[in-house]
Amino acid sequence: MKSMISPQLSKSLSDADDIAQWLRHSASERDQSRHISTEQVDAYASSGLWAVTVPREYGGLDLGYKALSQITRLIAAADPSIAQIPRSHFHIIDLLNAVALPSQKQFFFNEILAGKKFAQAASEIGGKNASDIQTTLTQESGAWRLNGKKYYATGCIHADWIGVVAKDDIGVFMHAFVPKDTPGMEIKTDWSGFGQKVTASGTVLLNDVVVDEEHIIPFTEAFLDVHPIGASSQLIHSSIDIGIARESIDEAIKYIRQTARPWVDSGAEKASDDPYLIAGIGDLEIRYAAAVAMLDQVAGELDETEINTDGDLARLSVRVGIAKVLASDIALLASNKLFEFAGAGSTRESLNLHRHWRNARTHTLHDPVRWKVNAIGQYYLNDVYPKRHNYI
């Protein structure tokens, strides 16, 4: 996929900005009420932006990862919950492109181009680690059936198709697609995290859910060859963090200019003349610029690099890992410094400015940054390639 300056890219970014401005007006209220936000998700999906990475040979724009990152950042600044909801949708596009049969690609890409929304039910709780998946896909009486319990199923309540990661009869992970209204599947809105409250990242129950054999693709296989599945997924997560950071910095600037008072010892007439606040905002903007530069650079590399070897994939995965560390750091720092710079008045519940920190803290827990730092160090110091999975 190639990212380029084109009329299609310009229009996509303009559309994303328009949607972001609309989302921003209601973001705080929807956060406070843990609103499901169906109208907002449907508006984002119906804009066509959820199809920007569909391959050109199947009728898509194929705008590339850099464009996807830029779109995601715009949406995430306004409402990071809404930005996170299609993360698995784009992940599924990558999975289909990597391992699906041509007939499956044609069918599902047509569905996406028609505006259908996809979401993934992959994670589970209660196992020994994140890869301990107990959901099964078994063949009984000539039919494939799903049984299990999923959690962190972001966006499934909004989806037309749900992709379920499950183990087959011999323990190999597969990815089965089922329409949301399939009998035996129940989607609960029981997500109770203090941040990303609008993602509806709750439970999916599967009880003898019948799956069409034509709607099953490999999952493990996607990570055996040199497909940047994990790197592209992490790129989207990094873009969400960058969006949170941008909005946090902008909120701090706005509050300092309009509301904050200068400290008594500063001698300043207004808070925006306080030398420590000036330096503090400068420091945040520098760190933000570095994170954005790295993210744009590696997104472009994902678009332009022909990945032929294990080394090619390892290098890209590590570089996306660097972007993820920088993005996570600035999201947490900016959403925390917002209150230090704005002062005690900014903590008023009615302002709900703490949603930025809550969102940053929650989203950056998706996968531990400390293991990114370890993988980066192992690569550069010991020539050890990172493991292949969704988390790097």
- Kind of pairing between the strands at 173-179 and 161-167: antiparallel
**Residue 50 banded pLDDT, cuts 50, 70, 90:** very high
The CATH number corresponding to 7-117 among 1.10.540.10, 1.10.1200.10, 3.30.360.10, 3.40.50.1100 equals 1.10.540.10
Q: Would you state the pLDDT for residue 142?
A: 86
Contact residues for 132 (Cβ-Cβ < 8 A; gap 6+): 124
Mean pLDDT, the chain, integer: 96
Tell me the CATH architecture of domain 121-218.
Beta Barrel (2.40)
Per-residue pLDDT band for 1 (boundaries 50, 70, 90) equals: very low
pLDDT above 90: percentage of residues in the chain: 95
226-382 has CATH 1.20.140.10 classification:
yes
* C-alpha dist (Å) from residue 312 to 126, 269, 305, 321: 35, 55, 8, 14
The per-residue pLDDT for range 84-133, each reduced to its tens digit, is 999 999 999 999 999 999 999 999 999 999 999 999 999 999 888 988 99
The pLDDT-based confidence of 392 (bands split at 50, 70, 90) is: confident
Segment 330-370, tens digit of pLDDT: 999 999 999 999 999 999 999 999 999 999 999 999 999 99
E strand intervals along the chain: 118-121, 136-140, 143-150, 161-167, 173-179, 185-187, 204-211, 216-218
Residue 3 has pLDDT above 60, yes or no: no
pLDDT in the model for residue 370: 96
Sorted by where each begins, the domain ranges of the chain are 7-117, 121-218, 226-382
